[in-house]
Amino acid sequence: MPALSAAEMWLGMTVLGIATLWMAIVAGRTANDFARVLALLAELGLGGASLVAWFFVVWLLAKTLMAFGPDASTALLVAIAAGLVLIVPAVVSCWLIVRTTYRVLGRGATFAADLRNSLWLSKGGTWRPGDT
pLDDT digit string (tens) for 74-120?
999 999 999 999 999 999 999 999 999 989 998 888 888 888 877 66
Cβ atoms of residues 54 and 13 within 8 Å: yes
- 25-66 pLDDT per residue, tens: 888 888 888 888 898 899 899 999 999 999 999 999 999 999
What is the residue extent of each domain of the chain? 2-127
Nearest-angstrom CA–CA distance, 130 and 11: 37
Nearest-angstrom CA–CA distance, 122 and 132: 15
From the list 125, 118, 129, 132, the residue with the least C-alpha distance to 39 is 118
Question: Rounded to two decimals, what is the model's pTM?
Answer: 0.79
Q: Please, where are the H alpha helices in 30-110?
A: 33-66, 72-104
pLDDT band at 69 (very low <50, low <70, confident <90, very high): confident
